[in-house]
Amino acid sequence: MCSGELTEFKSSDETETIYQDLTVTPFGDFIIADYYNIEIIGETTNDRQLIYTPIAIDMIKFNGWSENKLSISCEELGIPDSKIALELDATTFEINVLSRIYKSQS
């Protein structure tokens, strides 16, 4: 378990990744997202673990915590204007799809 303190943000060998969102779990673990991936940061940014998502996603946004569950909104990768609601369980680090809404193509 992390202490809740981020001691380093960028390693010297890290490429220029643009992170879109950052949150801290109720247990003190840092969760980051770029456009396509969600990761857990360990003691340093070199110690990152990719969190499996059941679908390929884009435009990730963290919406807040309800107890140990993080609400996440995003689009399905390659499907503009789709609205996907996900939930990350901070005790298991599993992500579930709650809903999918696709704009009709007329």
What's residue 55's pLDDT? Answer: 95
- The amino acid at 91: T
48-106 tens-digit pLDDT:
899 999 999 999 999 999 999 999 999 999 998 899 999 999 999 999 999 999 987 55
7 falls in which pLDDT band (50, 70, 90)?
low
Residue closest to 21 by CA, chosen among 87, 72, 97, 69: 72
The better pLDDT of the pair 24, 11 is held by 24
What's residue 4's pLDDT? Answer: 55
What's residue 50's pLDDT? Answer: 95
Would you tell me how many other CB atoms lie within 10 Å of the CB of residue 86? 23
- The amino acid at 102: Y
* pLDDT exceeds cutoff 60 at 16: yes
* pLDDT exceeds cutoff 90 at 8: no
